[in-house]
């Protein structure tokens, strides 16, 4: 394991196929071990590797044992928990890995072994359930390393130190990599594990497949949608509650803000259209034809985004979740009380973009799009045919519950027409983000966001 060149060469054999590798389908032009440190009492090396492709160079965190991914090694998992809780430092060749505890408290590292199991399915990071020293934790390795303030850490500290909220699992701390020049990168986070929960996506799936809103689970489905609406608004209420903390202080929206946001959406759409055009030949004929229709309407979509600048709303901008969907919410069983997780933001966007204050309607749009995904997923999995009326019903129940809590707060548009106009634009932006994600990661799912962009109902919209 001491031969750095050998390690890099061995990683090259499997890294491009890793689920969390961002440059799907790209040919690696070189892998360099940027730094590494041996984990005490294990055979694991914690490495940072730089991977060059035609699209650029990205850094990833990879625990290794004989050049194989050692993420599930019990000793490694126990070390992460102890390092974060004790605020320990592990020296590497160039920098150091440092644990940080979110709230003050004493901790003595344990020699007890850990039990480790994967949490969740496909993801751009790796989440683990770690049972160690009589406690259970959720560990998340932030695989793609980006220097700067990580929203997951920043929001976790906010809920722990400044605005306690019971709608999310308690944030314990994080592990960072720091260079000699002071540059820091969060590489892992630690939360208390919420036992007795299932994700909202997983809980809804069998209900929707088993008849959906026309079946025996109708009332439960609608109750879940309403609970999500209330919890989402409570989350926004707390995130917008501290005007004395600069990173979370609500900001007054200006015409320049709206123009800037509109142009960012246009730029994002242009990148997605370019990706769609490049991937089109590799897709089934029917999907390629639908993409052709979408690409033919790109100018109309650009115009729709630019209409955002004309919306007259004084609702303030606040910090939000940023990547909000059914998979980011746990439901406590049997009460179905929601717990929101994963405040990292959309992995495809820069850290600065994820930390920007924006309208709460971005999160609202994300959940509405997730309802659409869940209904289409159920139809593909043997459930009832997709019905747009059922989507409208889910959205209505969610929004009604949301508005009860949000009404009167400065971050919620007082004008209904303005809220609807902003929501429509953010749904479109989210659908395009989903299209790019599926093109890069799950080509078999491309038709799901594509259907939302190209069906007759979609074409009837102003864009």
Note the pLDDT tens digit of each residue in 355-394: 999 999 999 999 999 999 999 999 999 999 999 999 999 9
Amino acid 408: pLDDT: 95
Name all domains of the chain by residue range, CATH numbers in brackets: 4-192 (no CATH), 197-459 (3.90.1200.10)
Q: How far apart are CA 129 and CA 137, in angstroms?
A: 6
Amino acid 296: pLDDT: 94
427 and 462 Cβ atoms separated by less than 8 Å: no
Task: Give the chain's residues under pLDDT 50.
Answer: 1-2, 459-463
Amino acid 25: pLDDT: 58
Amino acid 107: pLDDT: 66
C-alpha separations of 454 from 55, 294, 307, 323 in Å: 29, 6, 20, 23
Amino acid 4: pLDDT: 76
Amino acid 463: pLDDT: 36
Amino acid 459: pLDDT: 44
Amino acid 24: pLDDT: 64
């Amino acid at each position: 394991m001491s031969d750095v060149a050998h390690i890099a060469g061995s990683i090259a054999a499997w890294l491009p196929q890793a689920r969390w590798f961002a440059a799907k389908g790209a040919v690696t032009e070189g892998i360099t071990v940027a730094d590494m440190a041996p984990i005490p009492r294990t055979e694991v090396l914690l490495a940072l590797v730089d991977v060059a492709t035609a699209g650029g160079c990205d850094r990833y965190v990879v625990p290794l044992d004989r050049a194989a991914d050692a993420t599930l090694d019990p000793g490694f998992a126990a070390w992460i928990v102890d390092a974060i809780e004790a605020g320990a430092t592990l020296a590497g060749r160039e920098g150091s890995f440092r644990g940080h505890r979110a709230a003050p408290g004493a901790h003595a590292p344990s020699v007890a072994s850990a039990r480790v199991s994967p949490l969740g399915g496909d993801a751009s990071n790796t989440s683990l359930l770690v049972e160690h020293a009589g406690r259970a934790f959720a560990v998340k390795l932030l695989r793609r390393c980006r220097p700067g303030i990580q929203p997951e850490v920043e929001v976790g500290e906010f809920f722990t130190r400044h605005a306690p909220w019971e709608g999310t699992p308690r944030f314990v701390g994080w592990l960072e990599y720091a260079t000699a020049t002071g540059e820091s990168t969060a590489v892992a986070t630690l939360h208390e594990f919420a036992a007795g929960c299932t994700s909202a996506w997983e809980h809804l799936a069998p209900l929707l497949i088993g008849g959906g809103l026309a079946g025996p689970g109708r009332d439960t489905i609608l109750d879940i949608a309403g609970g999500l609406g209330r919890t989402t608004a409570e989350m926004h209420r707390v995130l917008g509650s501290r005007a004395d903390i600069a990173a979370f202080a609500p900001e007054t929206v200006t015409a320049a803000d709206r123009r800037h946001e509109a142009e960012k959406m246009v730029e994002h759409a242009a990148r997605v259209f370019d990706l769609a055009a490049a991937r089109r030949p590799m897709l089934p004929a029917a999907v390629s034809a639908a993409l052709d229709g979408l690409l033919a309407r790109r100018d109309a979509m650009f115009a729709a985004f630019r209409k955002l600048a004309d919306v007259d709303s004084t609702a303030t901008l606040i910090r939000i979740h940023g990547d909000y969907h059914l998979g980011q919410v746990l439901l406590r069983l049997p009460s179905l009380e929601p717990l929101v997780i994963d405040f990292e933001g959309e992995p495809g966007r820069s850290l600065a973009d994820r930390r920007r204050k924006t309208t709460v309607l971005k999160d609202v749009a994300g959940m509405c799009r997730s309802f659409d995904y869940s209904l289409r997923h159920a139809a593909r999995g043997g459930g009832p045919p997709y019905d747009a009326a059922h989507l409208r019903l889910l959205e209505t129940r969610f929004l009604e519950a949301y508005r009860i809590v949000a009404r009167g707060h400065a971050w919620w548009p007082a004008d209904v027409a303005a809220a609807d106009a902003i929501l429509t634009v953010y749904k479109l932006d989210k659908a395009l983000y989903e299209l790019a994600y599926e093109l890069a990661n799950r080509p078999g799912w491309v038709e799901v966001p594509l259907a939302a962009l190209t069906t007759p109902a979609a074409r009837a919209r102003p864009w």
